[in-house]
Amino acid sequence: MIRRLIISVLLLFLCSVTAQAQDMTVQDVLQAHREALEKSSRRTIGPVIDAIADSGLPAARLVLERWRDREMWQRENDGLFFYGEPVDRSTERLFDFETGAEVGVYSTRDLDQLKPNSGIQAMIAAALVKFQLNDPDPAQRRTALEAIARSGEAAHLAPLRRSIPTETDPVLRAAKERTERLLTIAYGATDAERVAAIEHFRGSLFLDVRAALNPLVETRTVYAADLPADANIKRRLRGGSADLPVAEAFALLVDAGVVTPPPTVDERKSALIAHTRDGKVAGIPVADLNTQEIRDRAYAALAARGDVPAWDPAFSEARAVEDAPFAEVYTEPSAAVTEAAEETLRSINNTVAWNQVLDLSLDGLSLASIYFLAAIGLAITFGVMGVINMAHGEFIMMGAYTGYVVQQVIPDYTVSILVAIPLAFAVTFGAGVAMERLIIRRLYHRPLETLLATFGVSIALQQIAKNVFGTQVRPLTAPDWLDGALVLNDVVGISYIRIAIFVLALIFLGIFLFIMQKTRLGLETRAVTQNPRMAASMGINPGRVNMLTFGLGSGIAGIAGVAIGLYAKVTSELGQDYIVQSFMTVVVGGVGNIWGTLLGAGLIGFLQKGIEWFNPSNTLAAQTYMIIFIIIFIQFRPKGIIALKGRAAGD
């Protein structure tokens, strides 16, 4: 009976409150806070914004928006608030908030403009979120949701939750639920709902999830003698262990006021200087104080006299921290929440690790395909003719510059790339054939001299490129459809250019295999590779075959140059950056076998990425270790991974 009575009284009270609210206008709310509005200070304006936003009046949103946009005016004679539209520089047309009716045109001299500063504007914007989340326009709702996701606050949580049941768009609804969970992790009222939200994200790869969880597991290390009973302790630490070095532990003790630090070396030195009397310190001549031992003795003497603070030479920081208790304490007070967060982060890190392996493999694969492209031409010439072409890197550079020149003539990037690839092949094919005719042909049987002669060509070509194109970086721009990256999730992503290079490498593998296995030229080339004299006896012209294979190898280098130029810097030193890796690829892979080159490129590409992963800050070290690895590798397989056997091996 009594309960029923109380309920009815409460209901009556509620009705009267709503009735009261219905009678109120926005103008009343504004007038109630007139003073705070006029002062407009960031410290006092908070309640005003809340009052307007929570008034439940239909015009509240309009007020907040106009206010934020600095379009709210106060009439000086009666202090009423209106929103205005400028008529000209000094007159405003005012409108009523409630009805939207025009009030009249006023000179700005009779009006005061409310000018919220950026801080207040941000507060108003936060209050507006509530309205925007329920806006009929989905685009508005999305913008508001994104704003919350970017910089969520505790105040957003309630309006966000209220807006979820009425959300009609399924995508937006899912996004809202996700954002709600992220906010709950940080600002949820009870541990249970926070834990539930945290556990929902197990194995999630999104960066914002990790950003929300990481603050929860933040810890600080403290001296743990008098910890409050409810402290959320992660673990106890011992001073001087690997996790808590002596110096840090000692600093904690000093901060906690448990020990007074003994005078440091520098302090003792200043004390000695301060107590120098007639060239002597405590009876020891200053000139003798040139070792730490004697200085310590002098200080001990001073301390014994009581002139300076006492100092125990036997004092050791390590012993001081040895038995003191230390602990790592979560800043988050709730143990249930931290436990759930640690657990979830563990599962996330697990997933992240697997995805990183995948990402690393993709990186390695793309690096391997670049090395493969760069080395394939070299492998052909080396394999077929036993000739090292030191100018190979410069052929790559020539290809890249060809691409650049084509782009100067043809402005459309897609067309220019399509033109540049065959043109680069033609240019470097010509250069290769010319070099074979003029130089290499004369130096058969003298491989070391070929190496040096082609090096002469290499420095000449490099300097010519420098003279023609200058030393600055020339752009070789990829077409739009190669921009951007294929993003699988927040961990795994690969740029389209790299995919294109991978595809290009596959295409070249195919073309090469086709030429070698299915064409007359390939047959003759294989014959010359195995035994030039015998091939010549069978009617094959080894000179022609050598010329064509050399041209082919050089031409492929030119195309590789276009591909590399798309993502690397096109300079006259472009070739130099790839030449050693190309040599390595050929040497590791084994001479005269395309599969060897493929394996070599794969090994080197994955190895380099792998080493870089262990020590990401230091790519120089990665290259150093890789080269050392290759030198050792050569010990065990001097002829490469796939070595030619039998007669084809030559010696």
Q: CB under 8 Å to 116, separation ≥6 — which residues?
A: 40, 45, 67, 68, 70, 124
Handedness of CA 409, 411, 413, 414 (dihedral sign): negative
| Least Cβ distance, residue 605 to other proteins (angstroms) | 16
| Least Cβ distance, residue 428 to other proteins (angstroms) | 18
231/220 Cα distance (integer angstroms): 12
Please report whether residue 572 would count as binding other proteins according to CB under 8 A. Answer: no
Q: Quick one: which segment of 136-144, 265-273, 494-502, 504-512 binds other proteins (CB under 8 A)? A: 265-273
- Contact 435/391 with Cβ under 8 angstroms? yes
Which of 156, 295, 392, 609 contacts other proteins by CB under 8 A? Answer: 295
- Contact 390/631 with Cβ under 8 angstroms? no
Please report whether residue 277 would count as binding other proteins according to CB under 8 A. Answer: no
- Contact 181/197 with Cβ under 8 angstroms? yes
168/162 Cα distance (integer angstroms): 13
Mask of contacts with other proteins, 415-454, x by CB under 8 A?
Answer: ------------------------x--xx-xxxxx-xxx-
Please report whether residue 269 would count as binding other proteins according to CB under 8 A. Answer: yes
Specify the residue, 29 or 535, whose C-beta has the smaller distance to other proteins.
Answer: 535
Please report whether residue 648 would count as binding other proteins according to CB under 8 A. Answer: no
Please report whether residue 307 would count as binding other proteins according to CB under 8 A. Answer: no
| Least Cβ distance, residue 472 to other proteins (angstroms) | 15
Report residue 557 CA to chain centroid gap: 32
In DSSP terms, which residues pair with 328 in a beta bridge?
221, 235
Specify the residue, 115 or 466, whose C-beta has the smaller distance to other proteins.
Answer: 466
Please report whether residue 471 would count as binding other proteins according to CB under 8 A. Answer: no
- Looking up tokens 């995948």 gives 358
Please report whether residue 290 would count as binding other proteins according to CB under 8 A. Answer: yes
| Least Cβ distance, residue 293 to other proteins (angstroms) | 9
Which of 205, 259, 627, 643 contacts other proteins by CB under 8 A? Answer: 627
DSSP 3-state assignment of 277?
strand
In what side-by-side order are the strands of the sheet with 111-113? 102-107, 91-95, 81-88, 72-75, 111-113
Q: CB under 8 Å to 336, separation ≥6 — which residues?
A: 191, 192, 195
Residue 610 burial (C-beta neighbours within 10 Å; 0-12, 13-18, 19+): middle
Please report whether residue 643 would count as binding other proteins according to CB under 8 A. Answer: no
Which parts of 579-618 interact with other proteins (CB under 8 A)? 580, 583-584, 587, 618
Element at 33 (helix H, strand E): none
Specify the residue, 415 or 621, whose C-beta has the smaller distance to other proteins.
Answer: 621
Please report whether residue 101 would count as binding other proteins according to CB under 8 A. Answer: no
Q: Interhelix angle for 170-187 vs 138-150, to 10°?
A: 20
Which of 164, 516, 634, 643 contacts other proteins by CB under 8 A? Answer: 634
| Interacting residue ranges for other proteins, rule: CB under 8 A | 269, 272-273, 276, 286-292, 295, 382, 386, 388, 390, 439, 442-443, 445-449, 451-453, 455-464, 466-467, 580, 583-584, 587, 618, 620-621, 623-624, 627-628, 630-632, 634-636, 638, 651
